[in-house]
Every structure is written in C-alpha cells, then in structure tokens.
Amino acid sequence: MTAIVTNKNASRNFTFVKSFEAGIMLKGWEVKSLREGRVDVKDSYVRLIKEEAWLIGLKIDPPSSLKNENLDPTRSKKLLLNKKEIFQLDDSVKKKGLTCILKKMYWKNNLIKCDIVVGKGKKSYDRRQDIKERDWKRDQARTLKSSLKNK
C-alpha cells in the first residue's frame, strides 16, 4: 500500500470512532492526476444520498496535457461500499455530532482505495491537550536520548 494523499486536518480536528475502506469511481484523467499527486483533500467529506456514499469536495486538478479541456476538478465521486457498511455509516452519522470524512487515499493492488472515518469534532481544549501531550512525549524522548548518549 502506497499512500497517494493523507488528510492531516482529519486527525487534528476529529476523534475517530470507526473506519471503513472504500473503493472510488474515477475517470481516466483523474487517475492520471492522482499518479502525478495533483489532489487536495482538505475540504472533503462523505455524504449519504439515496443509500449511496458520495465523496464531496475532493479536488483533483487536471493533468497538464488536458488543461484546455473543460473538466470539473471538484465533481462528486461515488464511493464503493457494501450495503452493510453504508447502513453502518448512516447509523453512525445520524448520531449527534458525528461526521464522515476522508482520511487517506492509497494504492492497493493497482486499485485506488479510500480510508473513510467516522469521527467527532474536537473542541479547542481537546486540541490544546493533544499539543501538550505531543510536546511532553517529544521532550521525554529528547531527555532519554541525551541520557543514553552520556553513558
């Protein structure tokens, strides 16, 4: 599995509850752009419409060879999930405060897969607590490394 793109804002702004792996329906030029790394997942989210999962807000820029054609870089893309997974997503999203977002896109056996997560939005004090824990772990690792170096 090689990652195409990861959504760094997802782990910063959400606490993950459940994760799903989904396929995605793309056009040929979109796959070509993904190979070049011309994708932005910052504002993407998943919406369930008529018992189908759709990825909205994913921006895939057209490749340089197709700049003159009229292509929509932000069109909605259908996600390929089982009915059971769609119903689980629907139940989770209907709970108060939960949302479904794209966490990562990656290659798996020459197919493009998406890691979809259901998460709850973090409050500002939760984010500050995460920053404190990360800084504390970093300082702890530095002191451990320096103490091992002095021996």
Domain ranges of the chain: 2-122
Residue-wise pLDDT for 38-96, tens only, equals: 899 888 999 999 989 999 999 998 887 776 677 888 889 999 999 999 998 888 888 77
Q: Report how far residue 123's alpha carbon sits from residue 26's, in angstroms, rounded to the nearest whole number.
A: 35
Q: Report how far residue 127's alpha carbon sits from residue 146's, in angstroms, rounded to the nearest whole number.
A: 29
The CATH homologous superfamily to which domain 2-122 belongs is Small protein B (2.40.280.10)
120 contacts 15 by C-beta, under 8 angstroms: yes
The overall pTM is greater than 0.85:
no
